[in-house]
Amino acid sequence: MAGVITASEPSWIAPFTGLSPHDFRKLITVLHREGAQAVRPGRPWSLPLEDRVLLVAAYWRTNLTLRQLAPLFGVSRSAAHRIIDHIGPLLAFTQGQRFRKGTVLIVDGTLVPTRDHTVAEQSKNYRYSTNHQVVIDADTRLVVAIGRPPPGNRNDCKAWAESGAKAAVRRTTTIADGGYPGTGLVIPHRRPAGGELCDWKREHNRSHKQVRARIERVFARMKTWKILRDCRLKGDGVHHAMRGIARLHNLVQAA
């Protein structure tokens, strides 16, 4: 159909996915291998796999409503909804990898405003949100684990354990900010009441802050996907979007 967005026109790929056309084709090949194009009962898809992946990426990137997005790809609103429900979980990156000896990870939580109040609660940003525990490799800055999001009123200590992020990293050395006391993670030294930190502890805190800032930069890049600023997806939709965006971030970072 003329005048619609399609992956056959390479100029559309980078603005929505952040990937080069070559890396986008590699992603499609991997999705084929993972069974994304498996035959299913009922009517065939109205778009090829490449266009369906691009539609989902465009939805996450722009956060347009489906009534706005569907005509841009030449499909109905209901078809766009089915595509997002089907492709979103398939784009999610897989975790549970084994970490090499000496690996250092960084964890932090980020709040995603979420309109589905069955999975979200009012949090410190005064909006209904979900708390996403994200773990990155300190050297490569690749996302290696994302826990299932508890409601946004959970503090990071509880969310770390409840989300499954703690189980995903096992005993690997992991650093975090001061919001994770008593978790066994490497956190900054606290200044004693009425006293000062000794020189080596101040130096340790300074280097700790510099390294931990890497995850803040990852969050800044991920939040350029507007779905993470105001998510209208229901149920596990926000979790699938976060993991799918993490996979695309990793592909861009590794390119």
Question: pLDDT at position 22, please?
Answer: 96
Domain final residue pick, 65, 91, 117: 91
Same domain, 120 and 227: yes
Looking at the 3D structure of the chain, how many domains does it have? Answer: 2
DSSP line for 145-213: EEPPPPBTTS-HHHHHHHTSHHHHHTTSEEE--TT-TTSSSB-PPPPPTT----HHHHHHHHHHHHHHH
Examine the domain organization and report whether 138 and 208 are in the same domain. Answer: yes
Residues 26 and 83 in one domain: yes
Structure-block tokens of residue 58: 């465009």
pLDDT of residue 96: 64
Judge if 85 and 119 occupy the same domain.
no
> pTM (2 decimals)?
0.92
Tell whether 81 and 124 lie within a shared domain. no
Q: What is the pLDDT along the chain (255 residues), one digit of tens a residue?
A: 456 999 999 999 999 999 999 999 999 999 998 888 876 777 788 899 999 999 999 999 999 999 999 999 999 999 999 999 999 999 998 876 788 889 999 999 999 999 999 999 998 878 999 999 999 999 999 999 999 999 999 999 999 999 999 999 989 999 999 999 999 999 998 888 878 888 888 889 999 999 999 999 999 999 999 999 999 999 999 999 999 999 999 999 987
Same domain, 111 and 77: no
- Containing structural domain, residue 189: 104-233
pLDDT for 126 equals 84
pLDDT score recorded for residue 212? 93
Asked, for residue 3, whether it belongs to a domain, the answer is no
